[in-house]
């Protein structure tokens, strides 16, 4: 059973464009939604996170939009740069124990120069 | 701080051999998580510890997998005997108990079982 569904699997965006990655969840007990960024050969690293009491959080070129009623959240990367090329994982906390994260399957983003 | 340290970074072994992966957490972090990453299944949580005590090992795929945390500075994930389907990247991640939800991942161990 996939608790967090992420789409698309892969994405190609032109430099300067907007990258959008979507996630949907099923469990209403989830209360923390981070996005992790992973470069080849490295471990994932926290990029940005949101809690369900706000609908949007922005940090630089990265924005999370959160729709509690639809149980969906998305990552927007404005002015995408080749250096943003990486795999992005959405995640949610609160399912099996308050300490663990359930991850989406990841989106491989390629920003072409 | 050096971050989470994992060794080895790459491991190639033959089916049936024992494999031991090692993790040194960030000093002071109370939680330690072992994940497995594959293209098909993404990032899967295998087991996690709190203050060196295993809390949930429901993600461990089979009895061939075992994990220990003998002290706050060291954890191992052992596969015995290894099988080709165990080939994956294994990550260790750690977290403070309070004040943050952020998990810090190590660089991973790429395991290939021939």
Q: Tell me if A43 and B4 make a contact (CB, 8 A cut-off).
A: yes
Q: What is the dihedral of CA A72, A46, B94, B67, to 10 degrees?
A: 60
Task: Decide if pLDDT at B62 tops 90.
Answer: no
Q: Tell me if B101 and A93 make a contact (CB, 8 A cut-off).
A: yes
In chain A, which residue's Cα lies nearest the Cα of B97? Answer: A99
Q: Tell me if B105 and A45 make a contact (CB, 8 A cut-off).
A: yes
Probe site for chain B from A9, A21, A34, A43 (most B CB atoms < 10 A): A43
- Nearest chain B CA: its distance from A17 CA (Å): 27
Task: Decide if pLDDT at B99 tops 70.
Answer: yes
Q: Which residues of A have a CB under 8 Å from any CB of B?
A: 32, 34, 36, 41-46, 49, 89, 93, 96-97, 99-106
Q: Tell me if A106 and B58 make a contact (CB, 8 A cut-off).
A: no
- Beta-carbon-side half-sphere exposure of residue A94 (alpha carbons within 13 Å): 14
Rounded distance, CA A104 to CA B35, Å?
13
- Residue range A96-111: average pLDDT? 86
Among the ranges given (A10-24, A39-53, A87-101, B87-101), the one the predictor scored with the smallest mean pLDDT: A87-101
Q: Tell me if A99 and B41 make a contact (CB, 8 A cut-off).
A: no
Q: Tell me if B102 and A103 make a contact (CB, 8 A cut-off).
A: no
**Percent with pLDDT over 90 in chain B:** 88
pLDDT at residue B98, as a whole number: 77
pLDDT tens digits along B14-27 = 999 999 999 999 99
Rounded distance, CA A48 to CA A90, Å?
10
Task: Decide if pLDDT at B101 tops 90.
Answer: no
Q: Provide, as residue numbers in chain B, all residues whose Cβ is less than 8 Å from the Cβ of A104.
A: 42
Higher-pLDDT residue of A2 and B59 is B59
- Residue range B56-81: average pLDDT? 95
Task: Decide if pLDDT at B97 tops 90.
Answer: no
Task: Decide if pLDDT at A95 tops 70.
Answer: no
In chain A, which residue's Cα lies nearest the Cα of B4? Answer: A43
Q: Tell me if B41 and A105 make a contact (CB, 8 A cut-off).
A: yes
- Nearest chain A CA: its distance from B81 CA (Å): 26
pLDDT at residue B1, as a whole number: 65
């Amino acid at each position: 059973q996939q608790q967090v569904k992420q789409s698309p699997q892969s994405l190609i965006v032109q430099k300067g464009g907007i990258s959008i990655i979507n996630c949907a969840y099923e469990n209403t007990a989830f209360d923390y939604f981070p996005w992790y960024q992973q470069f080849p050969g490295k471990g994932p690293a926290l990029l940005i996170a949101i809690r369900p009491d706000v609908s949007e959080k922005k940090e630089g070129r990265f924005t999370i939009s959160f729709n509690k009623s639809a149980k969906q959240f998305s990552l927007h990367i404005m002015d995408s740069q080749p250096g943003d090329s990486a795999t992005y994982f959405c995640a949610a906390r609160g399912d099996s124990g308050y300490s663990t994260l359930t991850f989406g399957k990841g989106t491989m983003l390629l920003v072409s120069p | 701080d050096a971050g989470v340290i994992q060794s080895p970074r790459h491991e190639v072994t033959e089916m049936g051999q024992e494999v031991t992966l090692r993790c040194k957490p960030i000093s002071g972090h109370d939680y330690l998580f072992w994940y497995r990453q594959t293209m098909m299944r993404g990032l899967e949580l295998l087991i996690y510890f709190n203050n060196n005590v295993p809390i949930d090992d429901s993600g461990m795929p089979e009895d061939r997998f075992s994990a220990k945390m003998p002290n706050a500075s060291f954890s191992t994930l052992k596969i015995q005997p290894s099988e080709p389907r165990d080939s994956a990247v294994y990550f260790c991640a750690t977290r403070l108990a309070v004040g943050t939800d952020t998990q810090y991942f190590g660089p991973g161990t790429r395991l290939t079982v021939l």
